[in-house]
Amino acid sequence: MKKVYKLDEVDCAVCAQNMENSIKKIKGVENAVVSYVTQKLLIECDEADLEKITDEAQKAIKKVDPRCRIVR
């Protein structure tokens, strides 16, 4: 399944790329795209794992930029 989330406070394209790379490493993530321009996160994963993966993605995002958050 694909799920798109709004991101709050993505400050630069390099940060977005670092977030994307970290999220792609999360177990169960098939693909992830973080867009600095649109301030959005796309996650592709099994629907049953979505909540857990979203929580892990938030942790990965916070490591790159502590102010950034996923708007659910």
CATH for 38: 3.30.70.100
pLDDT, position 36: 96
The distance of Cα 11 from the centroid of its chain, to the nearest Å, equals 14
Predicted pLDDT at 19: 98
Q: How many CB atoms lie within 10 A of CB 42?
A: 16
User: Are 56 and 31 a contacting pair, CB within 8 Å?
Assistant: no
Question: Is the sign of the CA dihedral 7, 58, 44, 25 positive or negative?
Answer: positive
- pLDDT tens, position by position, 24-56: 999 999 999 999 999 999 999 999 999 999 999
Q: How many domains does the chain have?
A: 1
- Structure-block tokens of residue 32: 């992830």
Average pLDDT, the chain: 97
Q: Which domain holds residue 22?
A: 2-71
pLDDT of residue 59: 98
Task: Give the DSSP H/E element, type plus range, for residue 24.
Answer: helix 13-24
Give residue 16's pLDDT.
97
